[in-house]
Structure 1
Amino acid sequence: MTDVDLVIRASRMVTPEGPAPLTGDAMRRLGIVDDPVIAVEDGVIVDLGPAERLEGGYRGAVRLDLPGRTLVPGFVDPHTHALFVGSRADEVVMRLEGMSYMDVLKAGGGILRTMRAVREASDSDLIMATLNRLDRMLAHGTTTAEVKTGYALSPEGEVPLLEVLRGIEHPVTVVPTFLGAHAVPPEFDSASDYVDALIGVLPRAAELAGSCDVFCEEKVFGICEIRRLL
């Protein structure tokens, strides 16, 4: 018998089949194991399969017996804006009444409204707000989340947001994305001028972020600006 940190036994395990991401109809293919056992050591699954094969093979320092429960992999959320403060819930009503997002933005709402709140917030405010959102995501099964910057909207403000993200400690794995080009801030006359300024901080952003994103939208950032940044 092999000693491990954790042994889990449940009624059923459901997981996608195969080693690669699935698309289209292939996403309907699921691997289902009844009465599964999972052995975990140092946070890594070292073995899994039906109890008839594994039950006597591992002894866990911690054991979880979950009768009537189904085990599934943690969800990966590839697009989030979890790093912000404030609320724009009232803008939902504006959209329901027929206003386009660009109309909301022109009226001082949207991204620019959150920009003002983030610029006034302390790092501790941002960290606490983000941790609360990550807590809710984890409670619903998300274990990895991409998190974008994009609400400081200044060359000198976007990189510190990446530093905030890199400093967050949470069970959800956070993958930072640099979204300096989320909207054109009021201090700049054009998208092109703002992109000129952002290019100067890209080397530092590349050290802190796994990827770079741009909001491609009419009257925001077009193909020319995107090509220069990416």
Structure 2
Amino acid sequence: MHLIIQHIGQLLTLSPSPQGLTSPRPSPKALGEGGRARVRAAMSELGIIEDGLVAIENDKIVAVGKTSDLKPKLKLLPHTKVIDAKNQVVMPGFVDCHTHLVYGGSREDEFEMRASGITYQEIAAKGGGIRSTVKATRLASREVLKRDALKKLDRMLMWGTTTVESKSGYGLETKTEIKQLQVNQDLNKLQPIEVVSTFLGAHEFPEEYRSQNFESGIDREGYVKLICEEMIPKVAEAKLAEFCDVFCDQGVFTPEEATKILETASNFGMYPKIHADELASVGAAEVAGKVRAVSAEHLLYPSQTGLDLMKQAGTIAVLLPGTSLTIKKNYAPARKMIEMGIPVALATDLNPGSCTIENMPFIIGLACLYLGLTPAEAICAATYNAACALKRGDRIGSIEIGKQADLLIMDIPNYRYIPYHYAVNYVKTVVKRGKIVVGTS
């Protein structure tokens, strides 16, 4: 083995039943593709081992347990690096399962407008918001988009994020949607964080489909047809995205339109996700349940029927408290979801308009303060459950034998410091695929 972290003050395995060197627990893959997200009390089971040890060989975890039990059994080779993590916390890397990472331009002018009392919807109605970023993204070259995204990823890595979902949605035309997804592919070759692609052509209606010749002022049918008959087939053919998302809400896509788009994408091999009921209760959570979406995201105003359908479908609720903070909106009913048995995940929703937060510890703090999650629940939501929202819970999100070695060493005495000091970066070392990518010891 090439890396051993020993004498760990608190080792957060995120395994309900931490096992030692010779007794790995069955892979979550056996419970269902991508792992099964945790619900209710299981979200609080961090699988803490005091005076812990983790051993890594190549990109995999090969031993997890107490230092006193495992150290005598491990053979150190000349190249083995040993890190002493006494009085520190070791935990899985953060999984940011909802971002809009790749975009052109910026919208600090809109931030100032919101600070003066103008609402997100009012800004969007005047041609700002998503449509403003669409203009900038269409004009930006692939190289410029890549350069700007790399800067963001560098900062996210320093805060402990090791996996990021990145949506398109600032093209609203085939060429630029593909350009955004190609940038995601480029990013995976240039830096350590794994970037997972989601196609979001149904993020808004573009200017060229807006006309007073139509009753609503928008050629809704024409744009949905473009998404289903041109964008989705081309994205699928080029294998540019694992997931397809739709913004189903007031002023954007209807439940019927969202259903058509997501069912089309599913037929082309993409897993469904949905921006659901962020601005109003429009029936988007119901769509999530009916199409068996992997995740429904935002969920500030879900109906009871929608939540019931989500629970039946096993849909993960990805909650984004940073967006509620930024646009001064309500927060999602997280406690109700947890008590119902709906799995909850957390993400930043990094985007140029409604949330520019790039660090997951801050989101964990907001989740505890405004969503009512406990520190343990929030950590589960930002690691293992977030990995399940990307169908990766079988290989990342917890520290278990056989899993990919994505983990953090944090210079804190216990895990509660993460939300307690949520604006402070305590990440000392980041390990991605078994390699130290931040820090030296």
Q: Is 2:216 aligned against 1:174?
A: no
Identify the residue that residue 251 of structure 2 maps to in structure 1: 219
Q: Is 2:248 aligned against 1:210?
A: no
Identify the residue that residue 39 of structure 2 maps to in structure 1: 23
Q: Is 2:155 aligned against 1:136?
A: yes
Identify the residue that residue 165 of structure 1 maps to in structure 2: 184
TM alignment of 1:50-69, pairs within 5 A: 50-58=66-74, 59=76, 61-69=80-88
TM alignment of 1:34-45, pairs within 5 A: 34-45=50-61
Identify the residue that residue 8 of structure 1 maps to in structure 2: 5
Structure of greater Rg: 1
Q: Deviations over 1:99-148 (max 9, x none)?
A: 33221112121111111111111111111111111122221121111110
- Return the match for 1:86 from 82, 85, 105: 105
Letter of the aligned partner of 2:193 in structure 1?
Answer: V
3-state DSSP class of the match of 2:13? Answer: strand
Q: 2 CA distance for matches of 1:16 and 1:65? A: 21
Q: 2 CA distance for matches of 1:127 and 1:56? A: 47
Q: Which moved more, 1:44-53 or 1:193-202?
A: 193-202
3-state DSSP class of the match of 2:181? Answer: helix
Q: 1 CA distance for matches of 2:221 and 2:63? A: 53
Q: 1 CA distance for matches of 2:220 and 2:149? A: 28
3-state DSSP class of the match of 2:253? Answer: coil
Deviation at 1:55, TM superposition (A): 1.1
Q: 2 CA distance for matches of 1:51 and 1:116? A: 55
Q: 2 CA distance for matches of 1:96 and 1:39? A: 49
3-state DSSP class of the match of 1:30? Answer: coil
Identify the residue that residue 183 of structure 1 maps to in structure 2: 204
3-state DSSP class of the match of 1:208? Answer: coil
Deviation at 1:154, TM superposition (A): 0.6
Q: Which moved more, 1:86-95 or 1:158-167?
A: 86-95
Alignment size in residue pairs? 227
Deviation at 1:16, TM superposition (A): 2.2
Cα contact 1:191–1:220 (8 A) shared by 2:
no
More strand by share: 1
Q: Is 2:224 aligned against 1:195?
A: yes
TM-score normalized with structure 2 length: 0.49
Q: CA RMSD in A?
A: 1.7
Deviation at 1:93, TM superposition (A): 3.1
- Aligned CA distance change for structure 1 residues 38 and 213 (closer, same or farther; 3 Å): same
Cα contact 1:38–1:47 (8 A) shared by 2:
yes
Deviation at 1:67, TM superposition (A): 2.5
Deviation at 1:159, TM superposition (A): 1.5
Letter of the aligned partner of 2:250 in structure 1?
Answer: E
Deviation at 1:178, TM superposition (A): 0.1
Q: 2 CA distance for matches of 1:218 and 1:192? A: 17
3-state DSSP class of the match of 1:165? Answer: helix
Deviation at 1:201, TM superposition (A): 2.2
- Aligned CA distance change for structure 1 residues 97 and 23 (closer, same or farther; 3 Å): farther
TM alignment of 1:139-158, pairs within 5 A: 139-158=158-177
Q: Which moved more, 1:70-79 or 1:81-90?
A: 81-90
- Return the match for 1:101 from 108, 117, 120: 120
Deviation at 1:173, TM superposition (A): 1.1
3-state DSSP class of the match of 1:85? Answer: coil
Gaps of 5+ in 1: none
Q: Percent identity, please.
A: 39
Cα contact 2:137–2:176 (8 A) shared by 1:
no
Cα contact 2:201–2:231 (8 A) shared by 1:
no
TM-score normalized with structure 1 length: 0.91
Identify the residue that residue 280 of structure 2 maps to in structure 1: none
Deviation at 1:183, TM superposition (A): 0.8
Identify the residue that residue 115 of structure 1 maps to in structure 2: 134
Q: 2 CA distance for matches of 1:29 and 1:123? A: 43
